[in-house]
Structure 1
Amino acid sequence: MLNSTALLIVILYLIGMLGIGWYTNRFLIKNSTDYMLASRALPAIMVAASLSVNNIGGGSSVGVASRAFGNWGLSAGWYVLAAAIGIIPMALFAPRLRRVLAYTIPEVVGRRFGPTSHLITAVLNIVALFCLTASQILASGTIVAALTGIPLDTGIIIAGLVAIIYTVMGGLWADAFTDLFQWIIIFFGLLIALPFIIGGAGGWQAIVSKVPPAKMSLTGIGFATILSLVVQYFITFMSGPEMVSRIYAAKDEREGTKATLLSALFMALYAFIPALIGIVAFATFPNINGNQALATVVFNLAPSWVAGLVCAAIIASTMSSADSDMLCASTIFTKDIYQRYINPQVSDRAQIIMTRIGNVVIGLVAMGIALFQINIITLNIFAFMLRAAGPFAAFALGLVWRGASKTAGLISILAGSAVGIYWQILEEPYGILAIVAGSVAGLVAFAITTWIERGLGGREATPLFED
């Protein structure tokens, strides 16, 4: 249980998040573009921080420390470093992403390949984002409860309400500001904690003497796993609404490109910090549960004010994902379902209201699921694969393949989704991830369909740009 100093830091952090929501709602939200895309005015530093913090959730802090404590050792840092490498190719797509002036991924797919492709992509995105919102609120609440000693139900309600309130009030402006603050807390909180933890364990030499040499290898997980992680992250970033929306919100094309490269640097600098903490835990507390590695060393080896920073960092890492998933899901429903198919004449003000209502509904239902403690991890993994495996080829190639055929998008979405589902059911044979298998199938289907239709004189997809 946290002492009073550490608990005060966590409380002040949560209050700060609410304050940011109030400020952005009061001074920055004038229309739906302000609310959904932060006026398309975000500088590179804010976009980069948001990209980074949305990827670095609990799995990249508590999870990496746990993997380092376990079989992966120091090479667990590749879990994040692979993301830094995987986001670099996104810089090549960033200018077109920003230039297209879209709100969502389904909108881009629909412009190129028609309403059927658009609607399927929108539904896949909403389902996946809804599930991810539920899991992140559950994770945030679990961490709040574990780190403060309050009941789990209370922790879920606190975490969920804070995320809902500041997202509802400030939209992407609030999300972007809080993400910048959260990145600072995550990075510097763990970085500041590291020397205290190493010193408390007797110094680096004492730690290394208690750890098997194989555990100190930087490539212990193997090059095949590293490559698989890099490919998985690139697919995830290019088909993730919460990631792509940040590029849409950049001030201009150049800022979007700079942001992706800066995000790669941010994540690379962070990558091995939680892994080192996991190694310290193995050397000093070898009999604990691996999931408790980070918390155990922080509370036992670091000062209370450092423990408070780390607590705020861990809560920030999960809450940042929850707010982004929530906002993206409600934006897609408003723009791609309601405005596109139900009420094309909906006013700008009504769009803001509907998106806010969507945030509340998604957040409250997600909180309800969490309160029942329903295990949704398997569903989340499946939904995450489904949103990426199908739309990846249509979205990515739709941006750059000028001569793509009209039906290539739909065929690739169906083929990628089908193969991804099938591969998931087979429990990912040959060690190939379902998201990778489905995405590759979608790419192949896209290319074959385009070549066949062009040979038969079929129609080309609607171009996104004039030149």
Structure 2
Amino acid sequence: MNTILLITIIGYILLMIVAGTMIGKNKINNTEDYMLAGRSLPNIVLVGTLLATFVGSGTVIGGASFIYQQGPLAGIIYFAGVPIGIVILYFIAGKTWLISKYTIPQILEIKYGKLTRTISSIFIILAYIGIASYQFTGGGYILNLTTGISVQAGTIITAFIVIFLATIGGMFSVAYTDFISSLLILAGFLLGFFYLVTNVVSFDTIIASLPESHFTWTGNLTVPQIIGYFLPLFLLVLADQNMYQRLASAKDANTARRSTIGFFFSSIAVFGLVILLTIGSFALFSDIKPDTAILQLAYNGGLPVIVGALILTASVSFLITTGNSFLLSAAGNITYDIVQRVKPDISDKSLLKINRYSVFALGGIAYILGAFFPDVLSIQMYSYTMYGAALTPAILASFLWKRANGPGALASIVIGGLATLVWELVLQKPYGWNSVLIALPLSIIALIVVSLLTPKYTAQIEEDQYGKDKEEKENVEFKSEYASGVYEGK
């Protein structure tokens, strides 16, 4: 056990708890504050929370595991879906703000109807529980490495911290602690790599240590297999409810759109540093467990203690910010897409309580789920595909294809989700292919065929629920266009 490492990590965790508690105590007055930070986030905070939310255990542990085994070029393919997806997200970010809903299913209801909202919320909850689960496991790895406690005990501690922060402060707490974490992430990883190549092992030596397979774009994988790793991240960033909630939390539509530019460049920087740190770890440790590559580098890689502490603390920040974001988001699905649908007259105060109780319950389920998957990378691919294949086609079609309708979206969501479950859990991934290679085509085909064979759905927008404010009128006008299929990404 290294005392400095331990103190640094504990200090960071305490800072997050104090900051999250203070922000939550002073800012949360209603459900809009809890879910969308009162629609007040400035650009720099928005960029930070987008980055910190999307980059978590799946990057530091799952991504490092993939790069360690397949090489840096394959790692570029693995991560490339994120910046490509962000470019597409830029063109719909402003309209996402105008829709101003708490959840993706609420958005889908405008275009596709109530049943689609209910079914989509179930699949989002299933996927997000999985994503939260491997944040807990990642935290267990780090605490095991730095304190010597068991991975299981570390996982429980991480779960408690994540659940507490998500419960106490909602989006205000999550967004501003995300911003702090994003600065720590960039500083820790950049400083760590700079010291590594200038004082521990030269970059030439790192390159020379890599096996021949690591200099190909597919590593040890076939072309279908590498595509199966590219698609889940690409699909997730395009339709991740967390992204849409954060864009809706911006102070205006232009801020929402501009934030995707910062997200684009900061994500490339972080992914690039993860690749470089992982191959540096490979040069020093050729026989470690792949998903501990960055963690071992920070702990045993010859870096100064303070630099190692920064990397490990940055890794912890990844896990905490991503975990509480996904729990908060999934709790919103329970509160607004299930409970409020059953009891439409429920008070705002009651919704706020249910939101917090749901975070706690989902956190417990996420911890239990972690026992069913052998490593972070496997649960990561399941969770991303469950979301991406089941929901992304319907979400994008709602913005970009006016003929898409409720029956088509419903068929797409159900078939994509069930195909993921069957391929992953029943068939156990035949040919070593990730389920996205099967689930995504089936989901798209179902959406197109069923939409063309059934009547077009047109929602009715109730204007009297909005005030006379100019901005609210623009929201109503856009919702009407969106529901009727007039809006095609303009």
TM over 0.5: yes
Relative distance call for 1:234 and 1:257 in structure 2 (3 A) is farther
Structure 1 stretch 125-134 or stretch 30-39: which is displaced more? 125-134
**What's 1:461 paired with?**
458
Structure 1 stretch 241-250 or stretch 67-76: which is displaced more? 67-76
CA contact (8 A) 1:416 1:439 kept: yes
Shift of residue 229, structure 1, vs aligned partner: 4.9
Secondary structure at the aligned position of 1:267 is classed as helix
**What's 2:436 paired with?**
435
Equivalent residue letter for 1:449? V
Count of residues in Structure 1 that have an aligned counterpart in Structure 2: 459
**What's 1:166 paired with?**
165
Secondary structure at the aligned position of 1:250 is classed as coil
Matched, 1:233 2:247: no
**What's 2:486 paired with?**
none
**What's 1:191 paired with?**
190
Q: Give the RMSD, CA atoms, in angstroms.
A: 2.8
Equivalent residue letter for 2:349? R
Relative distance call for 1:134 and 1:351 in structure 2 (3 A) is same
Distance (whole Å) between structure 2 residues aligned to residue 290 and residue 442 of structure 1: 33
Distance (whole Å) between structure 1 residues aligned to residue 405 and residue 359 of structure 2: 36
CA contact (8 A) 2:43 2:259 kept: yes
Relative distance call for 1:26 and 1:406 in structure 2 (3 A) is closer
Relative distance call for 1:13 and 1:420 in structure 2 (3 A) is same
Structure 2: which 5+ residue stretches go unaligned?
A: 461-477, 482-490
1:133-212 to 2 correspondence within 5 Å? Answer: 133-212=132-211
Structure 1 stretch 111-120 or stretch 69-78: which is displaced more? 69-78
CA contact (8 A) 1:77 1:274 kept: no
**What's 2:47 paired with?**
48
Secondary structure at the aligned position of 1:70 is classed as helix
**What's 2:286 paired with?**
286
**What's 1:305 paired with?**
306
Relative distance call for 1:116 and 1:320 in structure 2 (3 A) is same
CA contact (8 A) 1:106 1:119 kept: yes
Distance (whole Å) between structure 2 residues aligned to residue 228 and residue 367 of structure 1: 26
Matched, 1:12 2:11: yes
Relative distance call for 1:78 and 1:185 in structure 2 (3 A) is farther
Shift of residue 38, structure 1, vs aligned partner: 0.9
Runs of 4+ in 1 over 6 A off after TM superposition: 221-226, 429-432
Relative distance call for 1:443 and 1:254 in structure 2 (3 A) is farther
Shift of residue 331, structure 1, vs aligned partner: 1.0
Any idea what the Cα deviations from partners look like across 1:412-436, whole Å, max 9, x if unmatched?
3234334444554556668764335
**What's 1:22 paired with?**
21
Distance (whole Å) between structure 2 residues aligned to residue 435 and residue 305 of structure 1: 41
**What's 2:214 paired with?**
215
CA contact (8 A) 1:404 1:461 kept: no
Any idea what the Cα deviations from partners look like across 1:1-22, whole Å, max 9, x if unmatched?
3x22222111110011101211
Matched, 1:363 2:363: yes
Any idea what the Cα deviations from partners look like across 1:110-143, whole Å, max 9, x if unmatched?
2222222121111111222223323322322232
Distance (whole Å) between structure 1 residues aligned to residue 270 and residue 383 of structure 2: 28
Relative distance call for 1:207 and 1:432 in structure 2 (3 A) is closer
CA contact (8 A) 2:43 2:258 kept: yes
Structure 1: which 5+ residue stretches go unaligned?
A: none
Equivalent residue letter for 1:158? I
Secondary structure at the aligned position of 1:301 is classed as coil
Structure 1 stretch 271-280 or stretch 71-80: which is displaced more? 71-80
CA contact (8 A) 1:83 1:230 kept: no
Any idea what the Cα deviations from partners look like across 1:289-320, whole Å, max 9, x if unmatched?
43343233323311111111111111112222
**What's 1:326 paired with?**
327
CA contact (8 A) 1:238 1:244 kept: no
CA contact (8 A) 2:206 2:283 kept: yes
CA contact (8 A) 1:390 1:439 kept: yes
Relative distance call for 1:366 and 1:466 in structure 2 (3 A) is closer
Shift of residue 380, structure 1, vs aligned partner: 6.3
Shift of residue 88, structure 1, vs aligned partner: 1.5
Shift of residue 329, structure 1, vs aligned partner: 1.3
Distance (whole Å) between structure 2 residues aligned to residue 384 and residue 65 of structure 1: 17
Any idea what the Cα deviations from partners look like across 1:13-57, whole Å, max 9, x if unmatched?
001110121121222111110001111222232222222222222
Structure 1 stretch 80-89 or stretch 351-360: which is displaced more? 80-89
Relative distance call for 1:203 and 1:78 in structure 2 (3 A) is same
Distance (whole Å) between structure 1 residues aligned to residue 380 and residue 73 of structure 2: 27
Relative distance call for 1:273 and 1:145 in structure 2 (3 A) is same
Distance (whole Å) between structure 2 residues aligned to residue 415 and residue 68 of structure 1: 31
Equivalent residue letter for 1:250? A
Distance (whole Å) between structure 2 residues aligned to residue 109 and residue 32 of structure 1: 20
Identity, % of aligned positions = 23
Equivalent residue letter for 1:461? T
Secondary structure at the aligned position of 1:466 is classed as helix
Relative distance call for 1:72 and 1:208 in structure 2 (3 A) is closer
CA contact (8 A) 1:189 1:306 kept: yes
Distance (whole Å) between structure 2 residues aligned to residue 292 and residue 212 of structure 1: 19
1:311-390 to 2 correspondence within 5 Å? Answer: 311-341=312-342, 343-367=343-367, 373-375=371-373, 381-390=381-390
Equivalent residue letter for 1:446? L
Secondary structure at the aligned position of 1:402 is classed as coil
Distance (whole Å) between structure 1 residues aligned to residue 179 and residue 270 of structure 2: 15
Distance (whole Å) between structure 2 residues aligned to residue 375 and residue 431 of structure 1: 16
Distance (whole Å) between structure 1 residues aligned to residue 197 and residue 436 of structure 2: 38
Distance (whole Å) between structure 1 residues aligned to residue 51 and residue 303 of structure 2: 26
**What's 2:470 paired with?**
none
TM-score by length of 1: 0.88
Relative distance call for 1:443 and 1:25 in structure 2 (3 A) is same
Distance (whole Å) between structure 1 residues aligned to residue 209 and residue 122 of structure 2: 51
Secondary structure at the aligned position of 2:279 is classed as helix
CA contact (8 A) 2:4 2:309 kept: yes
Equivalent residue letter for 1:443? I
